[in-house]
Amino acid sequence: MGAHAEAPNVAAAADLKFALSEIAASYEKATGQSAKLSFGSSGNFARQIPQGAPFELFLSADEDYILKLAADGWMQGEGRLYAVGRLALIVPHGSKLVADGELKDIVAAVGDGRIQRFAIANPEHAPYGRAARSVLQRAGVWEGLQGKLVLGENVAQAAQFATSGSAQGGIVAWSLAKTPEVARLGAVALIPESWHPPLRQRMALTRKAGEAARRFYDYLQQPAARAVFERYGFLLPEK
């Protein structure tokens, strides 16, 4: 019963789907202890925690959610910055669009009508959606894409929309786009980090956290876990 009975509930931003799952598997192999991972939009988790959701550890894609929860007394301190995220343009096989990080073909396609649907995460509660909006605004196509945007509940769903034929392309997390599971579905281009506000990702223990959650939180700060984040395209903050 041991390890699985006490597996901590972890709320994690959707861009961590592959990286954190791999880290949790390594953690279980190394320690015999598991973690129960729930992936979704950071904004939704930030609303659920004060409403009594059972999460003990929250890995947000936007540090502001953690800092606000901490200020309101829902967290055990402000936690730690664990990664800085990047964005990518993904164009599915068969699309008439070209994947380039500076969106030159997207600009042309808005003008010539090649885009009917374009996927991003919902900017209302998904940090990667807000960052995608910033990129589209910088490229000068945000207004032109109104009415054509397909909004994912989180960035993982946006990636699904962008690669499933539901859209001609989309802007998603680099950590998802560069995985073999997603990259095989289309062409991918990394977007310059200067094109959007930094996706500073912070994690912290909630007031409900027990010892098992604290052990997993500590493991996420170790070199083995940090190496996985880096391999999935995250920029690592200084220790």
| Short-list 199, 231, 169, CA closest to 14 | 199
- The stretch 216-226 carries a mean pLDDT of 97
Residue 135 has pLDDT above 50, yes or no: yes
The CA distances from residue 33 to 6, 212, 217, in Å, are 8, 8, 13
**139, 132 contact by CB (below 8 A):** no
| Tens digit of each residue's pLDDT (9 = 90 or more) over 34-52 | 999 999 999 999 999 999 9
**173, 196 contact by CB (below 8 A):** no
What percent of the chain shows pLDDT beyond 70? 97
The mean pLDDT of the chain is: 95
Lookup: tokens for 147: 């009415």
| Short-list 61, 16, 65, 64, CA closest to 39 | 16
Angle between helix 127-139 and helix 155-163 axes, rounded to 10 deg: 60
DSSP structural state of residue 53:
-
- Angle 160-165-171 (CA atoms, 0-180°, nearest 5)? 50
Gap between the Cα atoms of 60 and 56, Å rounded: 13
| Tens digit of each residue's pLDDT (9 = 90 or more) over 140-182 | 999 999 999 999 999 999 999 999 988 999 999 999 999 999 9
34 phi, psi to nearest 5 deg: -110, 170
Residues of the chain with CATH 3.40.190.10: 2-84+200-231, 87-190
Q: Fill in the amino acid letter for 202.
A: R
Q: Looking at the domain that runs over 87-190, which CATH code has it been given?
A: 3.40.190.10
137 three-class SS: helix
Radius of gyration, alpha carbons of the chain: 18
What percent of the chain shows pLDDT beyond 90? 95
The pTM of the full predicted model, rounded to 2 decimals, is 0.93
For 207, other C-beta atoms within 10 Å of its C-beta total 11
Specify the pLDDT at position 214: 98
Residues in the chain: 239
Give the architecture (CATH level 2) of 2-84+200-231.
3-Layer(aba) Sandwich (3.40)
Q: Fill in the amino acid letter for 7.
A: A
| Tens digit of each residue's pLDDT (9 = 90 or more) over 17-34 | 999 999 999 999 999 999
Gap between the Cα atoms of 208 and 194, Å rounded: 37
